[in-house]
Amino acid sequence: MPHIIVKLWPGKSDRQKKTLADKITRAVMDTLHYGEESISIAFEEVPATEWMEKVYDLDIRAMAATIFKKPGYTSI
């Protein structure tokens, strides 16, 4: 715990995914104080042609109240 799923368009290399997973892991450890052994991260590639249906509608629009960083807005 926690398990994080990153949904993204296909085409990123395994090296890019590994780098991002490492950075997310570090951020979770630093912010939430979990040990590295408690964190898992998965990547789910969703083609751009399916993004609205499989990600935006289900995970973003329908879950808007739970989104802390919305698309198109900066959180920094």
Give the separation between CA 67 and CA 19, rounded to whole angstroms: 23
Cis geometry, peptide bond prior to residue 2 (ω within 30 degrees of 0):
yes
**How many whole angstroms from its chain centre is CA 45?**
11
Give the separation between CA 23 and CA 17, rounded to whole angstroms: 10
Positions marked active-site: 2
